[in-house]
Structure 1
Amino acid sequence: MMDMTVGELAQAVQGAVAHADGAQGVVTSVCTDSRQARQGSLFVAIRGERVDGHDFVAQAAKAGATAALVNHEVDVDVPQIVVDDTVAALGRVAKANVALRRSFAVAADEGDDSASRDESSKPAIAGPFDPAAPHPFTVVGITGSVGKTTTKDLLAAMLRTQGRTVAPVGSFNNEIGLPLTATQVGEDTRYLVAEMGASAMGEIRYLTSIVPPDVSVVLKVGVAHLGGFGSVENIRRAKAEIVQALTTDGVAVLNADDPRVATMADMTQARTVRWFGVDEANNTCDVRARDIEVDDTDHPSFTLVAPGHEHRVTLALRGRHNVMNALAAACAALTVGVPFDAIVQVLETQGAASPHRMAVSTVEPPVVPAAFTLIDDSFNANPDSMKAGLDGLAAWHAGDRRDRPFRVAVLGSMLELGDDDEAKHRDIGAYCAHLGVDALVAVGSDADANLDRLASCLAQGAQQADGHSRMDVAFVHSADQAAEEVARLAKAHQGSVVLLKGSHASGLSALAAKWSPVTAHRA
């Protein structure tokens, strides 16, 4: 974080300082978890549904926190900045920090002789960013219905080859996670990767007001959070807020294969638009993939094509769907000056950096000694990502006709899909039958009628589909029952491969954590 005094922060968030004798204390970091507080920390007390951060101000002070951001004064001897809304104030702290970093870069640039810069340092795709300038700082924003976190992880790895890069952990992409990430920006930060999610109109606009992007990446407009938006058109408009935040000097990096994303080229002030895609009929792409193949362990290979470059790449990531994420990251990285060779190296070595995303391991249930291969993609789910995970399961050693593994899909409910959520779940069940999946375990909940209702539709869709007679379909009501069903199937079919996929609320990520890996595979 850029160093700021308690008094300066109070001014930035329009708050009042209690225990003002500490107003000259210097804040060097921000946290919302008192266990992470240390000397120089600003502890932000957030009132949640189950826990109130104000109850932990004393613990943060004891750990050495310089100050606390609160919505009412707490009886603790530590400087406190009192505001009406600590979440909104956290956003203002992040905004002030990013603005201070930008002003530092601008001040350092004054008097620089651009004519003396090395021409070889220019980006492979021409853009408004000069990596040879002293103290440069670039913000790349990423949004989309699917693939945000994977693209963020890939891009951050590419950018780190050029300088200090700040990027969120996991999917810190909301009104709390993004500001927390932005407060990690310091004087030596070269790049900030800002993942931006939304479940309603205006949320991305708010996030871009905190962290204005220089480059905006849009991956796909799908049906995730359809219930909150009301229509796919509203989702398109909401995702477009990230390109509408660009200035004329910014760059929009857009998916040429998604017609809804393509319309965003006309919705931005940015004079420069870069395109990525896999559709070979679309020859307007700046970065594209040609001749895509997938091996028996679901690693995609393709020829990466960019201006002046062409190279055969095998992704360390699994899943054909990750080709698009790789292209998006490569296009953004080229735009800000990352060399092509560094991009290729990252694509070929960077596995899943965030948990529960196509993570493969061999596990053995504690009850029944029957080892199986687990594909853990349980972080979250929507129809697009569910089909992508199932495609990966179907591709697993699909070429081994004699020794093809028994394939089990353990699927939980998908949430926030709107009025036709039951039909969408039945479609996924039918998709399992279409792919020839051997067994489906639809996981509901004995405590949540909505989760149970949707999981039952998964099972119904599989049972009613053509080819369902070859499938073993089970409808269970808890993760524990799912574990028992998987143990039964794994015992009956040695060498099975199991996909774990569902919304966070389905509890399947906890099931993944419960199973102890015997062997972790290459990511």
Structure 2
Amino acid sequence: MIALTAAEIASAVGGRLRGVPAPESLTVTHADTDSRSMRADSLFIAKPGETTDGHLFIDSALEAGAVLVLAERDTQSGAGDPHPAVIVDDVVTAMGSLASEIVRRIRAHSETTVIGITGSAGKTTAKDLLKTLLEAEGPTAAPQGSYNGEVGVPLTIFTAELGTRYLVVEMGADAPGNIAQLCEMVRPDIGVVLMVGSAHAGKFGGADRIARTKGELAECASAHVILNADDTQVAAMAERAAAPVTWFGESPDAEIQAQDVITDAAGHPIFTLAHHDSDSASSEGWRITSGLTGAHHVTNLLAAAAAAHRAGADLQSIAAALDGLGPASRWRMERTERADGVTIINDAYNANPESMREALKTLARLARPEEGQDRRAVAVLGAMLELGAEHNIAHIRTGETVVRLNIDQTLVVGDDAYPLYRGAVAEGSWNEEAHWVPTAEEAEAWLRENLRPGDIVLFKSSNGAGLRLLGDRVAGRKDAE
């Protein structure tokens, strides 16, 4: 984080100073909402939450090295002394204001390109890929994990330094207007839209409203708008673009293309990354074997390549960096080979109907018989959350997809996911192929009893369903909770 005094922070957020005798000299160089991450000269952000309140941890944050608190009310130590604080009406709003000021100062100090990425799926993978590509070009700041909302984006900005050359911001949304608010905060130069699906459809009120919201990024990016030519709803955003559009995709009209796409036996996408110049009808390309699992990642690879290219990177260098590059974040088609011959693919960080379908298609491909091998496809599936009125029908259709893909064994976990099991049964999967259990503990017991060497096991659910932790335990990860 860039160094800021207590006085500068109070000015940026419109706050009131309390318990700070020398606000012009008290300086912070780190900020976080987690009291456990405090170090010397930190700003502790006492954010109220759904299950606890950051104000309860102010003393422990100060003991750990924090020198200033961003809070919504006056607090004091056990001795009755006021905590050193900037008091605001709303901590989350203040985080956004502080982030905006930091971006302004970084831009004033040096040439900085801000890149925003949004989409119903793939944001974190595309962000991780882009971060790797840009780090070869200059100092780069990007989110940890999936920091992408009104809290996560400021926390990303707080990690940037004055010399940051590239600032990558993952933009998520729960409702119309969210992307526009994040754009107002960071003022992106380049905007990337991956795809439109039905994630969070319940909160938005339908896929059309999701598309309108994701398209807010196309309206605010000032230098380049990078759009998926293979997604009709994303392609329609070109009419809203405030800057020149760069197309990516398998479409022959895309400037950044994937040609001759195949997958190898491990499910890694192999394709030619081609740059198509429509003005001269010329094309050049480089063959890539990705370290990611699943053909659906071609979209993320192309998006990262297009964004890095528009940010100034050479395409040949981009292709070389992407070749063999694997996942950087947990629980995203994360593959583990057990000693007994069972393969675990843990993709249970997020789920919607589109990503569920792609993960199941990848599982089916991986289990395809080759050279006499007998590998069973086993799907361990939990609920897809935040689908609103589409919840039941989306799960039923996913159950139908399981049967049509000839998945050998399907284990559905949890009450919320039960319609998925019913969909599989109605489509023709009987008791020996489809199973339902109410808890992760019962699922673990079933897997312990029924898995056999050679099985390929996919764990897939929304984050809140918790199957990622079950997948870790079944994979035998030492860091499993």
Counterparts of 2:474 and 2:446, CA distance in 1: 14
Q: Is the 8 A contact 1:39 1:63 kept in 2?
A: yes
Give the 3-state SS of the residue equivalent to 1:157 in structure 2. Answer: helix
Shift of 1:433: 0.8
Name the aligned partner's letter for residue 266 of structure 1: E
Counterparts of 1:31 and 1:187, CA distance in 2: 18
Please name the residue that 2:421 is paired with: 459
Counterparts of 1:99 and 1:495, CA distance in 2: 55
Alignment counterpart, residue 288 of structure 1, candidates 257, 278, 284: 257
Alignment counterpart, residue 258 of structure 1, candidates 219, 224, 231: 231
Please name the residue that 1:60 is paired with: 61
Structure 1 position 486 matched with structure 2 position 455: no
Shift of 1:349: 3.1
Worse-matched range after superposition: 335-344 or 250-259: 335-344
Q: Is the 8 A contact 1:362 1:519 kept in 2?
A: no
Name the aligned partner's letter for residue 28 of structure 1: T
Worse-matched range after superposition: 38-47 or 9-18: 38-47
Shift of 1:397: 4.4
Please name the residue that 1:84 is paired with: 89
1:324-343 alignment, distance < 5 Å: 324-343=299-318
Report the CA distance shift for 1:335/1:78 in structure 2 as closer, same or farther (over 3 A). same
Identity %: 39
Give the 3-state SS of the residue equivalent to 2:379 in structure 1. Answer: strand
Cα shift readout 1:255-300 (whole Å, capped 9, x = no counterpart): 0111111111111221x11000113xxx321101111111111011
1:369-388 alignment, distance < 5 Å: 372-388=342-358
Counterparts of 2:478 and 2:91, CA distance in 1: 44
Shift of 1:309: 2.9
Shift of 1:363: 3.7
Q: Is the 8 A contact 1:152 1:329 kept in 2?
A: yes
Counterparts of 2:212 and 2:475, CA distance in 1: 43
Report the CA distance shift for 1:469/1:400 in structure 2 as closer, same or farther (over 3 A). farther
Report the CA distance shift for 1:246/1:518 in structure 2 as closer, same or farther (over 3 A). closer
Q: Is the 8 A contact 1:410 1:500 kept in 2?
A: yes
TM-score by length of 2: 0.94
Please name the residue that 2:279 is paired with: none
Count of residue pairs brought into register by the alignment:
468
Please name the residue that 1:274 is paired with: 246
Counterparts of 1:40 and 1:388, CA distance in 2: 46
Please name the residue that 1:112 is paired with: none
Please provide the CA RMSD for this pair: 1.7
Structure 1 position 359 matched with structure 2 position 324: no
Give the 3-state SS of the residue equivalent to 1:349 in structure 2. Answer: coil
Please name the residue that 1:48 is paired with: 49
Structure 1 position 160 matched with structure 2 position 139: no
Q: Is the 8 A contact 2:367 2:377 kept in 1?
A: no
Please name the residue that 1:321 is paired with: 296
Alignment counterpart, residue 104 of structure 1, candidates 105, 109, 130: 109
Name the aligned partner's letter for residue 246 of structure 1: A
Give the 3-state SS of the residue equivalent to 2:288 in structure 1. Answer: strand
Please name the residue that 1:309 is paired with: 284
Please name the residue that 2:115 is paired with: 140
Alignment counterpart, residue 502 of structure 1, candidates 444, 458, 461: 461
Counterparts of 1:477 and 1:80, CA distance in 2: 47
Counterparts of 1:231 and 1:299, CA distance in 2: 33
Shift of 1:50: 1.6
Q: Is the 8 A contact 1:309 1:340 kept in 2?
A: no
1:27-46 alignment, distance < 5 Å: 27-46=28-47
Name the aligned partner's letter for residue 436 of structure 2: F
Shift of 1:178: 0.8
Counterparts of 1:510 and 1:476, CA distance in 2: 16
Name the aligned partner's letter for residue 19 of structure 2: H
Report the CA distance shift for 1:233/1:405 in structure 2 as closer, same or farther (over 3 A). same
Structure 1 unmatched ranges of 5 or more: 106-135, 365-369, 445-451
Name the aligned partner's letter for residue 357 of structure 1: R
Give the 3-state SS of the residue equivalent to 2:343 in structure 1. Answer: strand
Give the 3-state SS of the residue equivalent to 2:215 in structure 1. Answer: helix
Name the aligned partner's letter for residue 249 of structure 2: G
Q: Is the 8 A contact 2:289 2:324 kept in 1?
A: no
Worse-matched range after superposition: 396-405 or 305-314: 396-405
Shift of 1:418: 2.5
Q: Is the 8 A contact 1:254 1:275 kept in 2?
A: yes
Counterparts of 1:58 and 1:338, CA distance in 2: 46
Give the 3-state SS of the residue equivalent to 1:302 in structure 2. Answer: strand
Q: Is the 8 A contact 1:362 1:371 kept in 2?
A: yes
Please name the residue that 2:372 is paired with: 402
Name the aligned partner's letter for residue 69 of structure 2: A
Shift of 1:471: 5.6
Give the 3-state SS of the residue equivalent to 2:74 in structure 1. Answer: coil
Please name the residue that 1:473 is paired with: 434
Name the aligned partner's letter for residue 35 of structure 1: R
Please name the residue that 1:115 is paired with: none
Name the aligned partner's letter for residue 11 of structure 2: Q
Shift of 1:406: 1.1
Counterparts of 1:26 and 1:278, CA distance in 2: 50
Q: Is the 8 A contact 2:367 2:456 kept in 1?
A: no
Structure 1 position 230 matched with structure 2 position 205: yes
Report the CA distance shift for 1:399/1:347 in structure 2 as closer, same or farther (over 3 A). farther
Please name the residue that 1:203 is paired with: 178
Shift of 1:398: 1.4
Alignment counterpart, residue 513 of structure 1, candidates 455, 472, 477: 472
Q: Is the 8 A contact 2:127 2:168 kept in 1?
A: yes
Counterparts of 1:15 and 1:350, CA distance in 2: 45
Shift of 1:472: 1.4
Please name the residue that 2:280 is paired with: none
Name the aligned partner's letter for residue 189 of structure 1: T
Q: Is the 8 A contact 1:154 1:346 kept in 2?
A: no
